Amino acid sequence: MPEWYHEFVDAAYSPTPDDLIVLFRLHPSEGFSIEEAAGRVASESSVGTWTEVKTMKPRIRALMAKAYSIRGNLVKVAYPIELFEPRNMPQILSSIAGNIFGMKAVDGVRIEDIRWPSRILRGFRGPRLGLDGLRKLFKTKERPLTATVPKPKLGLTAEEHAGAGYDAWVGGVDLLKDDENLSSQRFNAFERRVKESYRMRDKAEKETREVKGYLINVTAETNEMVRRAKTVKRAGGEIVMIDILTVGWAALQTMREVCQDLGLAIHAHRAFHAAFTRNRRHGMSMLAVSDVARAIGVDSLHIGTVIGKLDSPKEEVLALRNNLQQRQFQSVDPALDQDWGRIKSVFPTSSGGLHPGLVPQLMGLLGKDIVIQAGGGIWGHPDGGLAGARALRQAIDAVLSGVRLEEYAKTHSEIRRAIETWGVATYV
């Protein structure tokens, strides 16, 4: 069989600043060496197929991707920029994250990270507000922002949902957030939720004299999402939430344009990510997902907690946080450096099984430039959501003033009752 995979491996190649680089973790199938696997991946994701073809031209050879670094199972592949259509994220991903995942020659293929040349990033907007813009909007510089999802996650009526929002807002929470699977169901129709929630939001703002936000989930078919974003704008909203992975990258790109015109920010929920990020041998890392989301332009994105209810290892969460916050992302294995240039930073959201007693440990791990989201950790408070919201803010205040939660609890009943219920974890 006329095979030419070895021509896609070139240890002497040194990438140009215009090359897009993908860091793969490859596990070859039995009978294949890592070089053979790397060559096949570089071939299939650029110009090749399973055999040599007679239609090949010298000018097309210039478009061949090159596996130029192989270290254990980690393989770096450089892609010439001409392979990609500017401003077309689905096309870029159909190339570098397309057929390769099913190749018989590899038992496992995982995209660990992507290095984006500035010429490609130039085609994407990046966040409209990002971390600094959201901080400005909510007039909070020094502490984490707080968010809460009313629970049960489905079933509350629009009135009950907005009422919960009101309790959370007056209790000190900044952001009411919809759950990922709440869109427009019979028990809680979107239009009705908009009407009730922004009415309560305005009331809470008046009473607290603080800026309050609502991460309302507009996730739907794309045209419907556009309609919903317009409805949010008319009602006085500033942010929409999108389940970025279930709607897909094309829809997110469309929504980023729509939100530019409407002047809305995007909160990105990552429901579905673990289907392909959790298996460390196959799929795509959350770090790579966060790259795509930042480039297209979400303003905040879930990163995990390390200590909460969902799988999120410490190294991964820290790398994600850094990649979203920093302009110059410094790689820690397995990752690639990234110069984000003019692309703004994203507010990382930490969520999933959090409660006030975990706040010291969480802030010890992730710092204060995060959004702390607690659903069950507020709505499960023995004295209700208002007390739960207060307890969350008290936990943050305690950490920022250097006081242990047990000490703070002596003079603050809401945090006392929270830690009686869920305990305290101390960061070591």
Residues that bind ligand CAP (CB under 6 A): 149, 151, 153, 179-180, 270, 302, 304, 309-310, 351-354, 373-377
Considering beta carbons, is residue 255 or 374 the nearer one to ligand CAP? 374
Instruction: Supply the angle between the helices 249-262 and 89-96 in degrees, to the nearest 10.
Output: 160
In the complex, least distance from residue 226 CB atom to Mg ion, rounded to whole angstroms: 23
In the complex, least distance from residue 192 CB atom to ligand CAP, rounded to whole angstroms: 21
Residue 144 partner contact from ligand CAP, Mg ion, none using kind-dependent CB cut-offs of 5 to 8 Å: none
344 is catalytic: no
The string of DSSP codes covering 27-85 is EEPTT--HHHHHHHHHHHTTT--SS--TT--HHHHTT--EEEEEETTEEEEEE-GGGS-
Torsion on CA atoms 303, 306, 311, 316, rounded to nearest 10: 60
Residue 167 partner contact from ligand CAP, Mg ion, none using kind-dependent CB cut-offs of 5 to 8 Å: none
Nearest to 79 by CA among 67, 65, 93, 90: 65
Torsion on CA atoms 267, 270, 271, 274, rounded to nearest 10: -170
Which residues are near Mg ion by CB under 5 A?
A: 179-180
Cβ-proximal residue to ligand CAP, closest one:
375
Q: At residue 278, what is the residue type?
A: R
Residue 53 partner contact from Mg ion, ligand CAP, none using kind-dependent CB cut-offs of 5 to 8 Å: none
151 is catalytic: yes
Residue 385 partner contact from ligand CAP, Mg ion, none using kind-dependent CB cut-offs of 5 to 8 Å: none
Considering beta carbons, is residue 171 or 375 the nearer one to ligand CAP? 375
Please state, in angstroms and rounded to a whole number, the distance separating the CA atoms of residues 93 and 100.
11
Q: Which residue has the tokens 């015109």?
A: 261
In the complex, least distance from residue 381 CB atom to Mg ion, rounded to whole angstroms: 18
Instruction: Supply the angle between the helices 314-325 and 286-296 in degrees, to the nearest 10.
Output: 20
In the complex, least distance from residue 56 CB atom to ligand CAP, rounded to whole angstroms: 44
Considering beta carbons, is residue 39 or 360 the nearer one to ligand CAP? 360
Residue 128 partner contact from Mg ion, ligand CAP, none using kind-dependent CB cut-offs of 5 to 8 Å: none
Please state, in angstroms and rounded to a whole number, the distance separating the CA atoms of residues 241 and 239.
7
Considering beta carbons, is residue 283 or 352 the nearer one to ligand CAP? 352
In the complex, least distance from residue 215 CB atom to ligand CAP, rounded to whole angstroms: 11
Considering beta carbons, is residue 133 or 353 the nearer one to Mg ion? 353
Instruction: Let me know how long the chain is.
Output: 428
Contact 243, 255 (CB under 8 A): no
Residue 368 partner contact from Mg ion, ligand CAP, none using kind-dependent CB cut-offs of 5 to 8 Å: none
In the complex, least distance from residue 353 CB atom to ligand CAP, rounded to whole angstroms: 5
Which one of 151, 153, 203, 368 is the catalytic residue?
151
For residue 372, is it left (φ>0), alpha (ψ between -120 and 50) or beta? beta
Which one of 76, 212, 267, 269 is the catalytic residue?
269
Decide: helix, strand or coil at residue 410: coil
Rounded to 5°, the CA angle 89-240-208 comes to 150
Considering beta carbons, is residue 188 or 351 the nearer one to ligand CAP? 351
Active-site residue numbers? 151, 269
